[in-house]
């Protein structure tokens, strides 16, 4: 037998290892993988629309940030309920969440449109998303949805949409007189605006627009952006695309959640759902700038669409129509508070924005002369 001297360090290390192993054998509980929380989210968009891609950007970020503890079942418009019925479905617990816009439930309370497609006052969509987050809009939205309407929902806002085109017309229009009498598709307070200008308005979800144009139900229409319009097949029913308008100059996505579903989550997952909207807002904006611009080129080059800007006379007529509509909205005390809050924000913030911003058209014309036809 050969004697071996064991050091104190070796002795302690061995005893510690043995003790830990013994404790592990005797007391370690079985490790059970926790099943992820599955959130059924329906959008208000057809399956092929680019806004489904925007919704996917949101759920991809949330699922990664949650470490897989949240999973989504993403559904297009009509999978469970119609595009305009998602608020009711979330409220009733038929679905857990929705990706939509507030103007789609304008029929329940006109104030919904003030959180997406109200009077422009001079603020861009970015300006008005800032109002929602920093100017009091979030508190007013909570008051409307929960105190006034008693809805069992939470809503978060993201992605400041570029101003929506005046839309698709079979022939160019140069004056307010030429739009008088047209049958036109839009939604929300924009419907009131266009009716004030003499149009007959049909409020239709996106998937029904082109078929309505083909059947002669409408003469002209707008939806939102070149990518959605291209995918709808707008270029097959009209060849004049008129950009720039005050009818829906600022809008953002609304991410709706059933309040019971949301409240049952731990605090970290609640935060991921809420602040994931802000993360998606940035990625949505980048995706929109890429696709909206390239699809506008595609409409012109590949489909023979002529792109115009809305004539100044029609823009002036839109502002005058808003001047007539605003007092009727302010007859409602809550809506007056919302409009007062928005005006105060825009007066202060847009003064800074306009005074500080460079003349982008001047710079663009300098480097790409002759492309702009203003």
Note the pLDDT tens digit of each residue in 23-79. Answer: 444 454 554 568 999 999 999 999 999 999 999 999 999 999 999 999 999 999 999
User: Is 90 exceeded by the pLDDT of residue 242?
Assistant: yes
* Close Cβ partners of 55 (under 8 Å, ≥ 6 residues apart): 41, 43, 45, 74, 99
pLDDT tens digits along 295-325:
999 999 999 999 999 999 999 999 999 999 9
Tell me the CATH number for domain 37-161+250-290. 3.40.190.170
> How many Cα neighbours within 13 Å face the side chain of 157?
25
Question: Which of 291, 148, 181, 299 has the alpha carbon at shortest distance from 237?
Answer: 299
The pLDDT of residue 172 is 94
209, β-bridge pairs: none
For 59, phi and psi rounded to 5 degrees? -70, -30
The pLDDT of residue 15 is 45
pLDDT tens digits along 157-215:
999 999 999 999 999 999 999 999 999 999 889 999 999 999 999 988 888 999 999 99
DSSP class of 112 = G
Q: What is the DSSP string of 247-262?
A: TT---EEEEEEEHHHH
The pLDDT of residue 366 is 95
User: Is 70 exceeded by the pLDDT of residue 9?
Assistant: no
The average confidence (pLDDT) of the chain is: 91
The pLDDT of residue 27 is 53
* Close Cβ partners of 173 (under 8 Å, ≥ 6 residues apart): 179, 242, 311, 314
pLDDT tens digits along 13-29:
444 444 444 444 445 45
Indicate the pLDDT class of residue 374, thresholds 50, 70 and 90: low
User: Is 80 exceeded by the pLDDT of residue 228?
Assistant: yes
């Amino acid at each position: 037998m050969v004697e071996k001297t064991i050091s104190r360090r070796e002795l302690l290390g061995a005893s510690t290892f043995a003790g830990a192993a013994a404790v592990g054998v005797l007391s370690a509980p079985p490790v059970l993988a926790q099943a992820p929380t599955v959130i059924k989210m329906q959008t208000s968009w057809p399956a092929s629309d680019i806004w489904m891609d925007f919704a996917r950007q949101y759920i991809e970020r949330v699922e990664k940030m949650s470490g897989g503890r949240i999973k989504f079942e993403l559904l297009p418009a009509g999978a469970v309920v119609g595009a305009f019925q998602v608020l009711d479905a979330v409220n009733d617990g038929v679905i857990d969440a929705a990706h939509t816009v507030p103007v789609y439930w304008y029929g329940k309370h006109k104030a919904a449109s003030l959180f997406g497609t109200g009077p422009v006052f001079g603020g861009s969509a970015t300006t008005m998303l800032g109002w929602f987050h920093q100017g009091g809009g979030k508190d007013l939205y909570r008051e409307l949805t929960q105190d006034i309407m008693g809805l069992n929902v939470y809503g978060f806002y993201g992605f400041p949409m570029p101003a929506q085109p005046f839309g698709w017309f079979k022939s160019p229009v140069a004056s307010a007189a030429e739009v008088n009498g047209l049958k036109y598709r839009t939604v929300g307070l924009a419907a009131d605006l266009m009716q004030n200008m003499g149009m007959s308005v049909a409020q239709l979800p996106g998937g029904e627009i082109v078929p309505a144009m083909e059947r002669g139900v409408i003469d002209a229409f707008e939806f939102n952006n070149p990518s959605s319009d291209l995918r709808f097949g707008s270029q097959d029913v009209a060849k004049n695309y008129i950009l720039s308008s005050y009818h829906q100059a600022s809008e953002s996505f609304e991410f709706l959640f059933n309040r019971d579903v949301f409240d049952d989550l731990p605090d970290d997952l609640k935060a991921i759902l809420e602040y994931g909207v802000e993360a998606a807002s940035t990625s949505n904006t980048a995706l929109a700038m890429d696709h909206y611009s390239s699809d506008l080129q595609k409409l012109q080059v590949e489909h023979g669409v002529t792109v115009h800007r809305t004539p100044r006379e029609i823009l002036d007529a839109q502002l005058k129509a808003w001047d007539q509509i605003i007092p009727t909205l302010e007859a409602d005390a809550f809506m007056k508070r919302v409009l007062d809050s928005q005006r105060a924000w825009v007066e202060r913030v847009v003064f800074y924005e306009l005074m500080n911003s460079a003349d982008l058209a001047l710079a663009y014309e300098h480097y790409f002369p002759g492309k702009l036809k203003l």
